[in-house]
Amino acid sequence: MDKKKSEAKRLKEKLLINYKNSGLTLSHEFMGETDAFCEDYKRFLDKSKTERQAVITSIAMAKERGFTEYEKGKKYAPGDKIYYNNRGKALILAVIGEDPFEEGVRICASHIDSPRLDLKQRPLYEESQLALFKTHYYGGIKKYQWTAMPLSLHGVIMRADGTSVEVNIGEDDNDPVFCVTDLLPHLAQEQMKRTLAEGIKGEELNILIGSRPFKDDEISEKVKLNIINILHEKYGIVEADLLSAELEAVPAFKARDIGFDRSMIGSYGHDDRVCAYTSLMATLECEKPNKTIVTVLADKEETGSDGNTGLKSAFLKYFIADLAEPYGILGRTVLSNSECLSADVNAAFDPTFPDVNEKRNCAYLNYGVVVTKFTGARGKAGTSDASAEFVSRVRNILDENNIIWQTAELGRVDLGGGGTVAAYIANLDIDVIDVGIPVLSMHSPFEVVAKNDVFMAYKAFDAFIKE
* Edge-to-edge strands, sheet with 68-69: 68-69, 81-86, 90-95, 293-298, 106-111, 339-342, 431-436, 369-372, 405-407
CATH class of 8-114+268-466: alpha beta
Position 44, amino acid: F
- Chain centre to alpha carbon of residue 246: 19
Per domain, the residue ranges of the chain are 8-114+268-466, 116-251
CA–CA separation, 379 and 144 (whole Å):
30
pLDDT attached to residue 27: 83
CA–CA separation, 263 and 275 (whole Å):
18
Rounded to two decimals, the pTM is: 0.95
pLDDT attached to residue 216: 75
pLDDT attached to residue 277: 98
pLDDT attached to residue 4: 60
Is there a common fold for 8-114+268-466 and 116-251? no
pLDDT attached to residue 437: 97
Please identify every stretch of the chain with a pLDDT value under 70, giving residue numbers as ranges.
Answer: 1-5
CB-based contacts of 300-305 (< 8 A; 24+ apart in sequence)? 300/111, 300/113, 301/111, 301/113, 301/272, 301/344, 301/420, 301/421, 302/111, 302/113, 302/114, 302/115, 302/138, 302/139, 302/140, 303/113, 303/138, 303/139, 304/419, 305/111, 305/421, 305/424
CA atoms in the 13 A half-sphere facing the CB of 199: 16
CA–CA separation, 267 and 177 (whole Å):
17
Q: Of the candidates 317, 294, 314, 293, which has an alpha carbon nearest to the alpha carbon of residue 305?
A: 314
Report the share of the chain in percent with pLDDT over 70. Answer: 99
Q: How far is CA 125 from CA 15, 223, 236, 249, in A?
A: 66, 9, 19, 16
DSSP string covering 129-197: TEEEEEEEEESS--GGGGSSS-EEEEEEEE-TTS-EEEEEESSSTTS--BEE----GGG-TTGGGS-GG
Q: What CATH fold (topology level) applies to the domain 116-251?
A: Aminopeptidase i, Domain 2 (2.30.250)
pLDDT attached to residue 215: 83
pLDDT attached to residue 3: 58
CA–CA separation, 323 and 431 (whole Å):
20
Position 122, amino acid: R
In this predicted model, what pLDDT tens digit does every residue of 423-433 receive, in sequence order? 999 999 999 99
